[in-house]
Amino acid sequence: MKLMTAVALRLGDLLVEKEMTQVELATISGITQNTITNILNQANESMHLKVLQKICNALDITLGEFFNDKLFDKKNIDSQSEN
């Protein structure tokens, strides 16, 4: 799968786990709801790490915790599909 697909799936899982809506995440993180929706809908092929850091801060997790999921295992990410 593409890296942004894994990011979208992980973010969706975390929102469910934390019982947080996209609106709440946007408010707490300072990221626009449109940006969060675009991430979840995989509308972009990349994103700034700073955006993900703000999202992680709002979810009260580290970047390491965000990426510590089987979705990001080397075998699951198609390295040929992205630069």
**17: pLDDT confidence band, cut at 50, 70 and 90?**
very high
* Residues near 51 by beta carbon (within 8 Å), at least 6 away in sequence: 31, 35, 39
57, 27 contact by CB (below 8 A): no
Q: What is the pLDDT of residue 36?
A: 98
| pLDDT computed for residue 83 by the predictor | 43
Long-range contacts of 31-37 (CB under 8 A, 24+ apart): 31/55, 31/58, 36/11
For residue 82, what pLDDT is reported? 46
Q: How far is 19 from 14, CA to CA, in rounded Å?
A: 8
pTM, full prediction: 0.91
Domain residue spans of the chain: 3-71
In CATH, what number does 3-71 get? 1.10.260.40
pLDDT in tens, 32-79: 999 999 999 999 999 999 999 999 999 999 999 999 999 999 999 987
Exposed, middle or buried, 79 (CB in 10 Å: 0-12/13-18/19+)? Answer: exposed
CA nearest neighbour of 48 among 13, 4, 14: 4
